[in-house]
Amino acid sequence: MIKELIIDSSPNGATIALLQDKQLVELHKEQVSNNYTVGDIYLGRIKKIMPSLNAAFVDVGYEKDAFLHYLDLGPQVQSLLKLTKQVRSGGYQSKLLDGFKLEADINKGGKISEILTKNQLIPVQIAKEPISTKGPRLSSDLSIAGRYVVLVPFSEAISISKKIKSNTERTRLRKVVESIKPKHFGVIIRTVSEGKGVDELQKDLLDLISKWEQFITKLPSVEPSKKVLGEIGRTSTILRDILNPDFQHIYTNDNSMFEEIRSYIHEISPDMESIVRMHKHKEPIFDHFGIEKQIKGAFGKTVNLAGGAYLVIEHTEALHVIDVNSGNRTASKENQEENAYQVNKEAAKEIARQLRLRDMGGIVVIDFIDMHKPQNRKELFDFLRAEMQYDRAKHTILPPSKFGLVQITRQRVRPEMNIVTSEVCPTCNGTGTIRPTILLMDDIENNFNYILTEQNEKGITLCVHPYIEAFIKKGIYNRQMKWFIKYGQWIKVKNNPSYQITEFHFFSSKDEEIKL
């Protein structure tokens, strides 16, 4: 699998596209004005205790108070509160925790009113960015993430990613980390640590310890509700989490971004520094790599699949419903089951991509086409799970219900990526919308597949707007010639000035319109 990262930088931020084998699978927006990123640590002030919710509302400078539940306090919150009080009063001078006496863990079934009081100061970490009308979701169980390990203060535990299966490797990593970690700090060993040497792990851990020291240094002087320690940028975060030998290229159109990425990769993986490239073409970077066209085709209520089937995606605040339709795909009664199975597999692959691409969270309900064979239902469920393994967000997939519905719960930590894909109609001055013009040729060719291949029509005529006719017939080896080679028959193209720019119709050899 070949991975590429394309970064379109602008004064307002950056849009980051992750491609796998040239197909867009993730899209992220990093805005300059976004001050609340998952992983940022703030010095919060308790504004209100809510015993009925067993939670507190915390001022972190956002327009709406952030939410901190008792279960998100972390077992060592008393140690955190004690350290904060001592550091801000000047009673604790060390930057590490060697001489610090830890407090006892809090009771998992306790009350938040027993731990926190109004106006109390507490360091908190953004667990979820502000979504819709809600403020940020917080945690006081602090952690600082690096490329190979995650540093967890007030703990002694060493945890290892479950994806590292080898017992020998797990033992080796545990011994390495035990020998280099500081006292009263726990460490989570990430999957990418597998096979890495002591030097690489130690360098990563020292970087995280340095960040903790920055946190302790700033804590005495930082004002309440202000940021104490910021997470690295979204681009660097993606590289930190997923950079591997499969990455072939990283392209950006901004000099400062180019230097920043190259410098960051030089730190974490010097042998891959050469994959960072500067985009110097006059054509916009997303147009050059075909990303803009993929965005237009992948977002929106209806998503067309290659075989003629399509998905209908409906959104609510916490629930997403995806309906799978066979569309133009037809089958005889003898192989309806096989046809449904193939359409469902094609849809499952696209659904796994859509969840990542739109960053859809909460509950997702999928209505697949009904299948009668239990073996086919099981194989579809296993196929969907296999496709979802590339998704970095935490998720759970339930087996099909008796109604044939598949339910997925997926972690949501950022607002969903929502892009308007319809364009203003040029013939009605903005009173209606049409399909994106960039997809016009794809729509025409998809209908050719249906009319010529499945319906076996001969001598058809395509009628379009004069501009589109000129585009189709431009050049010697034009679109019309390509269609002749592909379908083995000449397709007549005529124009009609009364048509809208994206309007097209098909006519049979008897000059009767072919209804689609």
Residues 369 and 340 sit within 8 Å (Cβ to Cβ) = yes
Average pLDDT, the chain: 87
Banded model confidence at residue 492, pLDDT cuts 50, 70, 90: very high
Residue 91 pLDDT exceeds 90: no
What are the tens digits of pLDDT across the range 289-307?
A: 999 888 888 888 888 888 7
Residue 63 pLDDT exceeds 70: yes
What whole-number distance in Å separates Cα of residue 280 and Cα of residue 55?
A: 52
Residues 275 and 250 sit within 8 Å (Cβ to Cβ) = yes
Q: How far is CA 312 from CA 73, 316, 347, 387, 495, in A?
A: 40, 14, 11, 20, 32
Strands 319-325 and 362-367: parallel
Question: What does the block give as tokens for 190?
Answer: 């990430």
Which residues of 326-416 form beta strands (DSSP E)?
362-367, 395-397, 405-410
What's the pLDDT at 82?
Answer: 94
Q: Reduced to 3 states, what is the DSSP secondary structure of residue 188?
A: strand
Banded model confidence at residue 413, pLDDT cuts 50, 70, 90: low
What's the pLDDT at 280?
Answer: 87
Residue 33 pLDDT exceeds 70: no
Please identify which residue in the block is written with the tokens 């699998």: 1
Question: What does the block give as tokens for 330?
Answer: 């037809």
The helix (run of H) or strand (run of E) holding residue 257 is: helix 255-268
Which residues of 40-119 form beta strands (DSSP E)?
41-50, 55-59, 66-69
Q: What is the DSSP letter of 245?
A: T
Q: How far is CA 333 from CA 328, 339, 340, 368, in A?
A: 16, 10, 11, 19
What's the pLDDT at 39?
Answer: 86
Residues 6+ apart with CB under 8 A from 397: 381, 384, 385, 388, 406, 407, 408
Neighbours of 422 (CB within 10 A): 14
Residue spans of alpha helices (H) in 328-369 = 336-358
Q: Reduced to 3 states, what is the DSSP secondary structure of residue 467?
A: helix
What are the tens digits of pLDDT across the range 318-372?
A: 789 999 998 766 554 558 888 889 999 999 999 999 998 888 888 999 999 988 8
What whole-number distance in Å separates Cα of residue 81 and Cα of residue 79?
A: 6
Share of the chain above pLDDT 70, in %: 93
What whole-number distance in Å separates Cα of residue 272 and Cα of residue 242?
A: 13
Q: Is 54 exposed, middle or buried (0-12, 13-18, 19+ CB in 10 A)?
A: middle
Residues 237 and 260 sit within 8 Å (Cβ to Cβ) = no
Sheet of strand 3-10: strand arrangement: 23-31, 13-20, 3-10, 247-252, 276-278
Residue 161 pLDDT exceeds 80: yes
- Over range 230-246, report the average pLDDT: 75
Question: What does the block give as tokens for 3?
Answer: 């991975």
What's the pLDDT at 514?
Answer: 86
Cα of first residue to Cα of last residue in the chain, in angstroms, is 37
CA pseudo-torsion sign 476, 478, 483, 485:
positive
The string of DSSP letters for 422-454 reads -EE-TTTTTSSEE--GGGHHHHHHHHHIIIIII
- Over range 180-208, report the average pLDDT: 91
What are the tens digits of pLDDT across the range 4-13?
A: 999 888 777 7
- Over range 72-86, report the average pLDDT: 94
